[in-house]
Structure 1
Amino acid sequence: MSLVNVTNLTFSYEGTYDNIFENVSFQIDTDWKLGFTGRNGRGKTTFLHLLLGKYQYSGNISAGISFEYFPFEVQNKKDNTIHVIDSICGDYLHWQLMRELNLLDIAEEVLYRPFDTLSNGEQTKVLLAALFLKENSFLLIDEPTNHLDMNARKLVSDYLKSKQGFILVSHDRTFLDNCIDHILSINKMNIEIQKGNFSSWWRNKEMQDNFELAENRMLQKDIKHLTQAARQASDWSDKTEKTKIGGKQSSGVKGDKGYIGHKAAKMMTRAKAIEARQHTAIEKKSQLLKNIERVDDLKISPLPYHTERLAELENISISYGNKAVCTGVNLTIERGDRIALCGKNGSGKSSVLKLICGEQITYAGSFRKGSQLKISYVAQDTGFLRGKLTEYAYAMGIDESLFKAILRKLDFSRLQFEKDLSDFSRGQQKKVLIAKSLCEQANLFIWDEPLNYIDVLSRIQIEELLFKYQPTILFVEHDRTFSQNIATKLVNI
């Protein structure tokens, strides 16, 4: 066991004025299975890069151990997988590699195939196996779930549960709950560490938030009363002071200056005491609500459709060239359905969505879609995003003010609006696609892995949105909690 000590860490990117971290201090035990959570853009990946020494910072990070980062950058994806592993971790025994691959359900023959012929999920698992071959290192695992289907996530989560000594960035609640024993959270105003899993941290956060909100309500009432009392006392002491200086009392008879002076001093002391209490209450209030996240309600604009049935697929098979990606797909979409399309990576889920959206897909079978059906589509990939938000809104034909208002509700700062879309974090890019979809009026919403890289609070916002407005939606999503909470139907490919 060794410790990672972070002391007075302050960091901002060159050319910016806002600190991502400011005088942050905490301690990590390198035996922990540490989950790492926080809203998009708060600096989770940045902190991992600081541990790796990629950026200059003020403060101190001390550790008696080296750090290894996942995902590794594979220089030549045409190489056989065994050579990729050798380039990452040359010092291992073959039986050790086979032990890790068996735990991850990867066959040995994969080692002798070019790395780029592996599915995204297989690549993720192979790189994780290579990561855990490295000894005497503290492992920094950055969002490993985004290319894993639901079953693969369970497998990888069980794999990590059997390990120790890592920081794991993930927004999948079920995944985290299964494999971590501590949680590191980047809040609005600080960083904190708690023992337990994500659910226990979330319960504690809700309790703390509710306590602070109740305290805040009481303090606001107290401040209001104190302000009124201070004003009355100030007015009273002013009047008494004027009488002391030489004015007549209401009866027209001069008062006793000694008595009046004593009374004025007493009133002045009382006024100052009330004012001091008011400042104390305001100061206490300023310490509350510091980490309460603003989570505003989102809105969606589902359009009614003139028939009950929107689309129907019967015995659909989809091929690319001579390769069939799926066969025998049967799917009926009716008004009000919230359908989760399930299946392993590579089973053709995205191809089915694109077929319904009207893309040129080679297929066999019967496909019927309602006339004048308006579809709003969220793509899985965000790599095409470029330019400013204003330009993007214009190109998509959506209302810029509404678009930016939705992004504000998804925790975008106004400074973010001035950046290029290519400079956004991956979670922020995904939020751009979702916000665009929420601006569109549609009969059917089709979302392909909408939650990739998106923080937990935003996931909960989106869940509440879908519950409230109940749009007709067909989606692919490997977040088990989200799918279980939202779907009215599950369709397996």
Structure 2
Amino acid sequence: MSLINVTNLTFSYDGSYDNIFETVSFQIDTDWKLGFTGRNGRGKTTFLNLLLGKYEYRGTISATVNFEYFPFEVTDEQSNTIEVIESIYPDYLHWQMMRELSLLRVLADVLYRPFATLSKGEQTKVLLAALFLKENSFLLIDEPTNHLDMNARKIVSDYLRSKRGFILVSHDRAFLDNCVDHILSINKTNIEIQKGNFSSWWENKKMQDQFELAENEKLRKDITRLSTAAKRTANWSDKVEKTKLGTKNSGLRPDRGYIGHKSAKMMKRAKAVEARQQSAMEEKSKLLKNIENSERLKISPLSFHADRLIELEKVSIFYGEKTACAGVSFIIEQGDRIALYGKNGSGKSSIMKLIGGENITYTGTFRKASQLTISYVSQDTSHLRGNLTGYARENDIDESLFKAILRKLDFSRIQFDKDLSAFSGGQKKKVLIAKSLCEQAHLYIWDEPLNFIDVISRMQIEELLLAYSPTILFVEHDREFCKNIATKIFEL
């Protein structure tokens, strides 16, 4: 066991006026298994890069271990996998590598195949195995689940549970709950560490937020009451002070000493009330700084004149001589929320593209109701360029509504002026989802919509789908999301 100490860490990118981190301090035990959570754009990957020494910063980061980052960059994917491993860790022992691959349920023959021929899931597992061969290293694992199907996520999560000494960035709640023992949360104003898994951290956060909201309301009422009392006491003091002069033509001489004493006493009371008011205001200012704004999202699904929207009967899809999927049969009816399951490469995206209207070669029977309006969210975000205003115009959606949805998904106004190509992976996916939420449709088709998207935004999207019940066909490997949303499951 050793410690990683972060003291007064302050960092901002060149040319930026806003600090991503400001005087952040905390301590990490290198035996911990830390889940790293926080909303998109808060700086999770930036913090990992600071640990790796990639940027200059103010403050100190001290550690007696080396840091290793996942995913590794593979420069030559045409090399055999065993050569890729050797380029990452030349001194590895073969038997240790075989042990790690066995734990990850990867067959040994992948070592002698070109790395490019491995599925994305196999590539992820091989690189994780290579990562855990490194001794005396603290491992920084950045979103390993994005190319894993649900079954592979369970395997990798079980694998990580048997390890120790890492920070894991993931937005999959079930995945985190299974394999971490601490949560490192990047909040609006600080970074904090809490023992436990994601679910226990989230429950504690909700209780803390509720306490702060109640305390804030109590202090708000106290401040109003004290402000009124201070003004009333000060007015009484002024009135008493004026009686020193006596009543005109009364012929009576007031006791100025007594009146002055009474006035001073009342003024002192007013000052005490003002001091209590100031103290309450200072206490109030300490609250609500880390409460996440997760306003309710809205969607405007269209009602269709018939129940049956889509029918596939023994559909097979082809790309040249390659068969993407074969003999697929299912029906989509109005009100269905259908999760499409299947291993990576089983043809889920191909089915969705066919239904979405792309020109795809297929056999079998495919029926789509006439005049059916579909809103489609693709896996791919690489085409995003330009600014949000131009994107809204190109896609014929209401710019004000589009930006309002992004604000609810935790976009800052500064983000609105940036080029979409500079957005983080999660922010790009939010752009596609916000576009879909602006579109009135009979059927929504979302292909892995939650890749890279933070947990709180996932919960917002869940609440939306449960509240409005649009007809939706989706592919998603987040087990918790599927459990909460799907009314039907079709497995390829």
Specify the TM-score bucket, using the shorter chain as the normaliser: over 0.9
Cα deviation digits, residues 407-448 of structure 1 (max 9, x gap) = 000001101101111111111111111000000110101000
Seen in structure 2, the aligned counterparts of structure 1 residues 250 and 50 have a Cα distance that, compared at 3 Å, is: farther
Per the alignment, residue 332 of structure 1 pairs with 331
Per the alignment, residue 450 of structure 2 pairs with 451
TM-score (norm 2): 0.98
Cα deviation digits, residues 256-288 of structure 1 (max 9, x gap) = 211111111011101111011001001101111
Equivalence map 1:65-80=2 (5 Å): 65-80=65-80
Per the alignment, residue 37 of structure 1 pairs with 37
Q: Counterparts of 2:36 and 2:451 in 1: how far apart (Å)? A: 16
Q: Counterparts of 1:144 and 1:242 in 2: how far apart (Å)? A: 77
Per the alignment, residue 181 of structure 1 pairs with 181
2:127 pairs with 1:127 = yes
Which secondary structure state, in structure 2, belongs to the residue aligned with residue 298 of structure 1? coil
Per the alignment, residue 437 of structure 1 pairs with 436
- The one-letter code sitting in structure 2 at the alignment partner of 1:81 is T
Q: Counterparts of 2:172 and 2:364 in 1: how far apart (Å)? A: 36
Q: Which moved more, 1:232-241 or 1:365-374?
A: 232-241
Question: In 1, are the aligned partners of 2:316 and 2:363 still within 8 Å (CA)?
Answer: yes
Per the alignment, residue 61 of structure 1 pairs with 61
- The one-letter code sitting in structure 2 at the alignment partner of 1:456 is V
- The one-letter code sitting in structure 1 at the alignment partner of 2:139 is L
Equivalence map 1:97-108=2 (5 Å): 97-108=97-108
Deviation at 1:239, TM superposition (A): 2.2
2:468 pairs with 1:481 = no
Per the alignment, residue 377 of structure 2 pairs with 378
Question: In 1, are the aligned partners of 2:340 and 2:474 still within 8 Å (CA)?
Answer: yes
Q: Counterparts of 1:426 and 1:169 in 2: how far apart (Å)? A: 13
Q: Counterparts of 2:369 and 2:100 in 1: how far apart (Å)? A: 49
Question: In 1, are the aligned partners of 2:246 and 2:252 still within 8 Å (CA)?
Answer: no
Per the alignment, residue 24 of structure 2 pairs with 24
Which secondary structure state, in structure 1, belongs to the residue aligned with residue 34 of structure 2? strand
Per the alignment, residue 285 of structure 1 pairs with 284
2:194 pairs with 1:194 = yes
Cα deviation digits, residues 150-183 of structure 1 (max 9, x gap) = 0000000000001111000001000000000111
Q: Counterparts of 2:377 and 2:242 in 1: how far apart (Å)? A: 72
Per the alignment, residue 115 of structure 2 pairs with 115
Per the alignment, residue 208 of structure 2 pairs with 208
Per the alignment, residue 224 of structure 1 pairs with 224
Which secondary structure state, in structure 2, belongs to the residue aligned with residue 228 of structure 1? helix
- The one-letter code sitting in structure 1 at the alignment partner of 2:185 is S
2:178 pairs with 1:139 = no
Per the alignment, residue 413 of structure 2 pairs with 414
Which secondary structure state, in structure 2, belongs to the residue aligned with residue 481 of structure 1? helix
Seen in structure 2, the aligned counterparts of structure 1 residues 271 and 98 have a Cα distance that, compared at 3 Å, is: same
Q: Counterparts of 1:279 and 1:250 in 2: how far apart (Å)? A: 43
Equivalence map 1:271-310=2 (5 Å): 271-310=270-309
Q: Counterparts of 2:251 and 2:14 in 1: how far apart (Å)? A: 73
Structure 2: 5+ residue stretches without partners: none
Question: In 2, are the aligned partners of 1:336 and 1:472 still within 8 Å (CA)?
Answer: yes
Q: Counterparts of 2:246 and 2:42 in 1: how far apart (Å)? A: 63
Per the alignment, residue 353 of structure 1 pairs with 352
Question: In 2, are the aligned partners of 1:243 and 1:249 still within 8 Å (CA)?
Answer: no
Question: In 2, are the aligned partners of 1:315 and 1:329 still within 8 Å (CA)?
Answer: yes
2:166 pairs with 1:166 = yes
Cα deviation digits, residues 83-142 of structure 1 (max 9, x gap) = 111111111111111111111111111111111111111111111011111111000000
Q: Which moved more, 1:472-481 or 1:84-93?
A: 84-93
Equivalence map 1:79-98=2 (5 Å): 79-98=79-98
Which secondary structure state, in structure 2, belongs to the residue aligned with residue 168 of structure 1? strand
- The one-letter code sitting in structure 2 at the alignment partner of 1:463 is E
Per the alignment, residue 9 of structure 2 pairs with 9
Question: In 1, are the aligned partners of 2:174 and 2:479 still within 8 Å (CA)?
Answer: yes
* Aligned residues with identical type, % of pairs: 75
Q: Counterparts of 2:349 and 2:132 in 1: how far apart (Å)? A: 32
Question: In 1, are the aligned partners of 2:234 and 2:267 still within 8 Å (CA)?
Answer: yes
Seen in structure 2, the aligned counterparts of structure 1 residues 251 and 146 have a Cα distance that, compared at 3 Å, is: farther
| Poorly superposed stretches of 4+, deviation over 6 Å | 249-252
Q: Counterparts of 1:191 and 1:248 in 2: how far apart (Å)? A: 66
Q: Counterparts of 1:73 and 1:252 in 2: how far apart (Å)? A: 99
Deviation at 1:250, TM superposition (A): 11
Q: Counterparts of 2:368 and 2:334 in 1: how far apart (Å)? A: 13
Q: Counterparts of 2:231 and 2:491 in 1: how far apart (Å)? A: 69
Equivalence map 1:357-372=2 (5 Å): 357-372=356-371
Deviation at 1:5, TM superposition (A): 0.3
Deviation at 1:253, TM superposition (A): 4.7
Deviation at 1:252, TM superposition (A): 8.2
TM-score (norm 1): 0.98
Question: In 2, are the aligned partners of 1:143 and 1:169 still within 8 Å (CA)?
Answer: yes
Q: Counterparts of 1:248 and 1:142 in 2: how far apart (Å)? A: 82
Q: Counterparts of 1:33 and 1:302 in 2: how far apart (Å)? A: 42
Question: In 2, are the aligned partners of 1:249 and 1:255 still within 8 Å (CA)?
Answer: no
Q: Counterparts of 2:131 and 2:74 in 1: how far apart (Å)? A: 13
Q: CA RMSD in A?
A: 1.2
| Length, aligned pairs only | 492
Question: In 2, are the aligned partners of 1:318 and 1:324 still within 8 Å (CA)?
Answer: yes
Q: Which moved more, 1:257-266 or 1:14-23?
A: 257-266
Question: In 1, are the aligned partners of 2:8 and 2:58 still within 8 Å (CA)?
Answer: yes
Q: Counterparts of 2:384 and 2:83 in 1: how far apart (Å)? A: 33
Which secondary structure state, in structure 2, belongs to the residue aligned with residue 138 of structure 1? strand
Cα deviation digits, residues 50-78 of structure 1 (max 9, x gap) = 00000000000000010000001111111
Q: Counterparts of 2:248 and 2:401 in 1: how far apart (Å)? A: 64
Q: Counterparts of 2:286 and 2:250 in 1: how far apart (Å)? A: 50
- The one-letter code sitting in structure 2 at the alignment partner of 1:474 is L
Structure 1: 5+ residue stretches without partners: none
- The one-letter code sitting in structure 1 at the alignment partner of 2:375 is S
Deviation at 1:17, TM superposition (A): 0.6
Q: Counterparts of 2:266 and 2:376 in 1: how far apart (Å)? A: 69
Deviation at 1:218, TM superposition (A): 1.1
Cα deviation digits, residues 29-59 of structure 1 (max 9, x gap) = 1111111000111110000000000000000
